[in-house]
Amino acid sequence: MPVTTLDRDETQAAEVVGRADAPRALPLRLAVPAAVLAGLAMLLAFPPYGMWPLAPVGVALLGAAAHRRRLRAGAGLGFLTGVALFAPMLEWTNLHTGYLPWVLLSLLQAGYLALLGVATAWVSPLVDRRRWAWPVVTGLLWVAQEALRDRTPFGGFPWGRLAFSQDTSPLLRLAWLGGAPLVTFAVALTGGLLLAAGWRRWPGRDRRGWAPVALLVASALALTGGALLVPTGAAGTGRTVTVAVVQGNVPRLGLDFNAQRQAVLNNHVDATLELAAGVAAGTRPRPDLVVWPENSSDIDPLRNAVAGERISQAADAIGAPILVGAVLLGPDRGQVRNAGILWRPGTGADLSQLYTKRHPVPFAEYVPLRTIARMVSKQVDLVRNDFVPGERPGVVRSGPAVLGDVICFEVAYDGLVRDTVDGGAQLLVVQTNNATFDVAEARQQLAMVRLRAVEHGRGALMASTVGVSGFVTPDGRVSGATGFNTRAVVLRQMALADGRTPATRAGVWPELALAGLAVAVLVAAGGLRRARRREVDAGR
């Protein structure tokens, strides 16, 4: 066979490690398909597919593809994995805005997996020397990659974290201990165990040689099954509240759903009035609290008397406060706010209990670097007014319960949800509008709500304009889930909690610790590579 550039690169890599018997990298003809399959395997782990065991398989495949590669090759293979994962996962972003935003976002997210591929290649000498550390190193690198992706640029985009693929997995319970970072670490650690098992020379008929392989596979299974022993929930108040979620639906899906703003508001008012009629007739229980979704009133009810009167009509009829998702004008000209505002029966809007979304979505709710962005696509001008962020956590004291309100994509950000619990939230509420997306996006978002419920030991709910809406217990079970693009009103009794889980108490520290260890591993690998290079140079 002719000697290729890749062969020479891997020979040089072997020299750096300094072990003649060190395993070679996968041939490129196997590494490229492995990288693509890694992305597809992880994709299938997420809703709506829900094949969660494939997440660690994907981690293992990417680790095998990038191991002992040159850094550029590791970047390329990681990028392939990222494209295979994010391009189909984020397809819902092109339903109504065209291909360009979808392509740019997918490529940006794939770039972080390219960095992971570089890091995986970089630590190869270290894990070859300390093979027992390979699974742990794999877990640390994944947490560090997600920590970076969750924060950069413009506040980050945490969609597609490994933790969010585990909504029906035993590993979800680990969120009670350390939140999403610990779940991601466990998934990647499991993948690292599979990788270490698969990379070994198969012993054939030598039964004793199978022992290490069996031990690694058994450790992966034990880690997954052992997570079932982790408790869930937090200390409760002993009280329950009956909550109604109103999913009013929209006249039509797409970006122009708000061209029918009055119709959307009327849908939610009418559905609430129907519920009130059922309560009066004795066919439905009276709720203590009603939750409407994000954008249920895109007409500012504080400035538009007709809109305000319609919401008051609904609140008075049902006899319970309504958490309304509203678009509010101001504070300055050309600015708007995405808010959750409590509307009380008899008195109307309670301005002391108003939450303004703290993390507006860049290029969707506001346009950073607008002049430059317009050079890339004129579609940025569809965002006519920039949403301004709020400054306070979404702690809403409704009377029946203290709510932890987050709006739409905010549920993906650890700190935004945790702040509401630290502020006294007894029940988590996610107001969202999925009218511009599809059912896959809605189910992915509901998976995040499930993780947050376990993480903080709180009952949680998601209220969507079009679906999927539903309730989640503190152990992550879903009830009352609605269909997509339908009108529905769902009621559930929910227990209130005021205790704090280990994850809530620990806050960001588990992620900082794991990411810090990842940096230490990268530094140690760099030192080993330099030492081996000096040895090779001295030998010449």
Average pLDDT rounded to a whole number, residues 379-401:
88
SS3 per residue for 425-438: CCEEEEEECCCCCC
Average pLDDT rounded to a whole number, residues 417-427:
98
Check pLDDT > 50 for residue 523: yes
Query: 245: buried, middle or exposed (CB in 10 Å: 19+, 13-18, 0-12)?
Result: buried
Token pair 């962005």 in the structure block, residue? 373
Contact predicate 480/310, CB 8 Å:
no
Mean per-residue pLDDT of the chain: 91
Q: Residue 297 pairs with which residues in a beta bridge?
A: 326
Contact predicate 294/432, CB 8 Å:
yes
Q: Could you confirm whether 294 is annotated as catalytic? A: yes
- What is the token pair recorded at 96? 């109504």
Classified as helix, coil or strand, 34 is: helix
Considering only CA atoms, which of 87, 210, 66 is closest in space to residue 138? Answer: 66
pLDDT given at position 203: 61
Percentage of residues in the chain having pLDDT higher than 90: 78
Q: Could you confirm whether 357 is annotated as catalytic? A: yes
Q: How far is CA 293 from CA 273, 390, 391, 405, 421, in A?
A: 16, 18, 21, 11, 20
If you compute the radius of gyration of the chain from its CA atoms, what whole number of angstroms results?
25
Quick one: how far is CA 204 from the chain centroid? 42
**Catalytic residue chosen out of the listed positions 10, 365, 408, 410:** 408
pLDDT given at position 367: 80
**Catalytic residue chosen out of the listed positions 15, 357, 365, 511:** 357
pLDDT given at position 1: 34
Check pLDDT > 50 for residue 19: no
Phi then psi for 337, rounded to 5 degrees? -130, 140
pLDDT given at position 540: 67
Task: Spell out the alpha helix ranges (H) of 289-398.
Answer: 305-318, 370-376
Average pLDDT rounded to a whole number, residues 506-532:
96
Check pLDDT > 90 for residue 126: yes
**Catalytic residue chosen out of the listed positions 15, 294, 441, 455:** 294
Listed in sequence order, the residues at least 6 apart from 303 whose beta carbon sits closer than 8 Å to its beta carbon are: 329
Token pair 């392989």 in the structure block, residue? 213
Average pLDDT rounded to a whole number, residues 18-36:
80
pLDDT given at position 10: 44
327-382, pLDDT tens digit by residue? 999 888 878 999 999 999 999 999 999 999 999 998 888 888 777 777 777 777 67
Q: What is the DSSP letter of 421?
A: H
Contact predicate 290/372, CB 8 Å:
no
Check pLDDT > 50 for residue 227: yes
Q: Name the more confident of 206 and 500.
A: 500
b/e 279-292 (16+ beta carbons within 10 angstroms → b) = beeeebebbbbbbb
64-93, pLDDT tens digit by residue? 999 999 999 999 999 999 999 999 999 998
Considering only CA atoms, which of 445, 467, 325 is closest in space to residue 48? Answer: 445
Contact predicate 417/404, CB 8 Å:
yes
186-213, pLDDT tens digit by residue? 999 999 999 999 987 666 666 666 778 8
| Cα–Cα dist 263/271, whole Å | 12
